[in-house]
Chain A
Amino acid sequence: MPHKVISLISVGRHPQSGRSRRADQDSRAVELGLKLAGTDLDVVHAGSSEEPVLRQYAGMGLPKVTVLEQAESADALPAISSYLKTQQADIVLTGVRSESGESSGMTPYLLAEQLGWPIVARVADIVEVKDGEAQVLLALPRGQRRQVTVKLPFIASIDNAAEAARQSAFGPGLRAKMEAQSGSTEEDSVRVNWSEAPAKARPKRLKVVKAKTAADRFKAATAKPQGGSGKVMKNESAQEQAQAIFDLLIEEKIIR
């Protein structure tokens, strides 16, 4: 039985020009969805069906895009979650975080919570779906992967390490059908009160390179950081664990 796969897409934002575009991670989610389900893939967007960026996604070879029609100020979550409840999907793919809007990265988590599904975060690839289970590769830093097995249905957020999206072709994008359904009218009350400003570059911690030789520098640049001072707290009480984190944050001057 073929599995029902849904990819969620949003309107991205080009980091240099600030112009709307197909979001990088979302288009990777579509790419992975196409790999898993071919053109049976259901691609869902909550927003306006007039949005030109949807054509860029459709240009990847989607015959149609499902649009949950709603105003820009409306919350995407209720519309998507009620849509998913009607669909009996096996796998839902999203980006890790959107490139515009709140960009909190919470959508997959909140959906998982509402649907009661497991979530796998930062997926690099879904290798196989068989017997109600999926073999999933998680992306870890420095090109490392971790293989996990997840029961269907589940939500996966797609990491930048996943296969890059194929080229978007203008013609098929132009001809794809935008199938509009009514979305939610619930206003995103948090977002409404936000004001957007250009981000300031985040301060980076200075890296003190102690290496004396080229080999050492190479190692420092490539090797997995050996967090010498880290410790694993398994048996301590929640109080103690929280205190440890709190102390670390103060030590690193993240909170003062």
Chain B
Amino acid sequence: MVIDWLPSILIVALLLIGVVGMLRRSSLWRAGRPEKVNIIAGLLAMPGRYFKDLHHVVERDKYMANTHVATGGGFVLSMVLVLVVHVFKVEQQIVAWALLAALLLMLVGAFFVFKRRLNPPERLSKGPWMRLPKSLIIFALTFIVLTLPAAGVLPEGTGGVALIAVLSIGVIIGLGELLFGMGWGGPMKHAFAGTLHLAFHRRPERFGGGRSTGLKPVDLEGDVLGVAKPSDFKWNQLLGFDACVQCGKCQAMCPAFAAGQPLNPKKLIQDMVVGLAGGTDANYAGSPYPGKEVGNAKGGPNEIITAGLVSQETLWSCTTCRACVEECPMMIEHVDAIVDMRRFLTMEKGETPNKGSEVLENIIATDNPNGYAPGSRTNWAADQNLAVMKDKKEVDVLFWVSDGAFDMRSQRILRAFVKLMKAADVDVAILGDEERDSGDVARRLGDDATFQSLAKRNLATLGQYKFNKIVTTDPHAYHCLRNEYADFDKDGALAGVEVLHHTTFLNQLVQSGALKLDAFKGGKVTYHDPCYLGRYNGEYEAPRDLLRSLGIEISEMERSGFRSRCCGGGGGAPITDIPGERRIADMRMEDASATGAELVAVGCQQCTAMLEGVVEPRPEVKDISEILVDQLVEEVH
């Protein structure tokens, strides 16, 4: 009977249409700029990346992890077996039973997806995503019934034409979502794009427990510096945007979103998808950018992004804290994309907002963001009796002072750290007036030309001297020196040099017994993880170890460690100063106050400045080196 064949024909037809859609979708990504990717190695590594790295992130939400394993695993298994049983007509009952088991697994998963969608949290996108669990259930149920005869449970031909017709509708709905939708931009697109995104990720170093956080350099000889149009992204960045599942975990973590600034990382990625595919954001069914209505954004692969798709304030609201990237189960790189677009605004349009242009001009003319005389960089150390590299030439530890040298509050941190190093008898020197701004702010503001110039000049200076370690109290300089200078270090000025944050270094000194410290007698203490120390460099433990070595039991904030909330001071955000409803620093201080702490320990001068800017009453804010120095047992000689 022809009608018996109807489901099989439908399966094949929908599969083919789905494949055509996928090929079309791939051609959209290929509009991006070329980027070398090892295709074979990527594809081979993909399953591992999925099961280990991606799942490691998903597992933070146990409910969803199990649900996804059941649904996704069940679907992949059933789809293969559906082809075996219903298209190739393999007539072994065991295969049919295997298919039934897979479908049942998927059904259970789909049920839990359904349950979550009954009362979905705000971060989840609605719209077509609300339909997905129903389509999944229809798919599973349809094929369960369709497979029962093959498994020998029901006699062939049960239900007659009527049932076949009903089941065919089920096949169309289920496979329409799962195969057609996968290729043609439905919610299931995430499975297809996500798989390839994992294989061809722009930062393969992130998989297998690695870390890759340094921004990629701009080719300053290019026709367009930065990203003006979606087609200016690398092709695998476009692919990455398309992998988004709109789970909104980024949105839930974004400090700018919480502060009511016009940024929502999820919406941003979806706008990039609108850009790469062409069209409007009218179908977007998630939370908007705070204060901006959905439906007005329009774009195409070759249209300027900031002319209608994404507003400039959205791009400048980001603090580059990387909370979204850390949280994204698809390992999408939001910060890379934002800085890429900022680069266009700064280096091509000259439209860095508010104080941005002044700060950049100062950095260019004086190597520090506030335009102080370069010759006054070492004034803070006039009474510190610190050796200068120019005289010493060779030293064990080079202390990278950073621009805190010009700021009186940061100088207290610097002095505390110097005192600790002297107490531990460290062979240390500074670059003095030869040091320059690390380029962190310039780079985050999109001025990669200035960053590269600073990096090269700093490296040339460093290359003249011999040292084993660079230690700095500034996590931003730490990040640049450790993760971003290597791209420009042609002469190996930093080859074999250990770059350390002062908390790591001090922890080594304490552990080795070089520093003797009294127990801390103050009240409750909490610790704020700086983004550029924690998420950017994975150092969560050394600062905590140091506090513990003083006998402090840290009262952790709800958001700490890799989920720490930004202080609002990164990425040039205090300079571009995009208005919101709240201040990020105030929210962070509320987190701290909620622990009942009297003291917030910090490991970053920028965080110190931001948190101390919160009006009192509030806990005191101190850098860890300041806390340590108060407990230092000084030996009398």
Contact = CB atoms under 8 A, between A and B. Distances in A.
A21 to B, nearest CB: 5
Given A16-B366, A21-B365, A174-B220, A169 B374 contact: no
Contacts of A60: 350
A59 interface: yes
B346 A17 contact: no
A166 B357 CA distance: 8
A19 B366 CA distance: 8
Given A17-B373, A17-B374, A174-B220, A169 B349 contact: yes
A61 B349 CA distance: 8
Nearest to A168: B350
B374 A170 contact: no
Contacts of A167: 346, 350-352, 356-357, 360-361
Contacts of A21: 361, 364-365
Contacts of A16: 365-366, 371-374
B371 A170 contact: no
A171 B366 contact: no
A59 B447 CA distance: 13
A61 to B, nearest CB: 7
Main secondary structure on chain A at its contact with chain B?
loop
Interface residues of B, number: 25
Given A170-B447, A171-B224, A17 B348 contact: no
A14 interface: yes
A16 B360 CA distance: 15
A172 interface: yes
Contacts of B326: none
Given A16-B372, A16-B374, A17-B373, A169 B366 contact: no
Nearest to A166: B350
A167 B372 CA distance: 20
Contacts of A14: 365-366, 371
Nearest to A21: B365
Contacts of B348: 169, 171-172
A14 B372 CA distance: 11
B367 interface: yes
Contact of B347 (A17, A19, A61, A170): A170
A241 to B, nearest CB: 44
A14 B374 CA distance: 11
Contacts of B310: none
B354 to A, nearest CB: 11
B244 interface: no
Interface residues of A, number: 16
A17 B346 CA distance: 24
B254 interface: no
A61 B351 CA distance: 12
Given A16-B372, A16-B374, A169 B350 contact: yes
Nearest to B376: A16
Contacts of A61: 350
Contacts of B346: 167, 169-170
B225 interface: yes
Given A19-B365, A59-B350, A170 B449 contact: yes
A70 to B, nearest CB: 26
Contacts of A174: 220
Contact of A171 (B347, B352, B356): B347
A156 to B, nearest CB: 24
A169 B365 contact: no
A168 B364 CA distance: 11
A172 B348 CA distance: 6
Contacts of A171: 224-225, 347-348
A108 B371 CA distance: 30
Of the candidates B346, B348, B350, B351, the one having the most CB atoms from chain A within 10 angstroms of its own CB is B350
Given A59-B350, A168-B350, A171-B224, A17 B367 contact: yes
Contacts of B349: 169
A164 to B, nearest CB: 9
Nearest to B221: A174
Given A169-B349, A171-B348, 5 more contacts: A16-B373, A17-B373, A60-B350, A170-B347, A174-B220
19 contacts: A16-B365, A16-B366, A16-B372, A21-B364, A21-B365, A166-B357, A167-B346, A167-B350, A167-B351, A167-B361, A168-B350, A168-B361, A169-B347, A170-B220, A170-B346, A170-B347, A171-B225, A172-B348, A172-B350
Interface of A: 14, 16-17, 19, 21, 59-61, 166-172, 174
| For the complex of A and B, 8 pairs with smallest distance between CB atoms | A169-B350, A167-B357, A167-B350, A16-B373, A14-B365, A170-B449, A170-B347, A171-B225
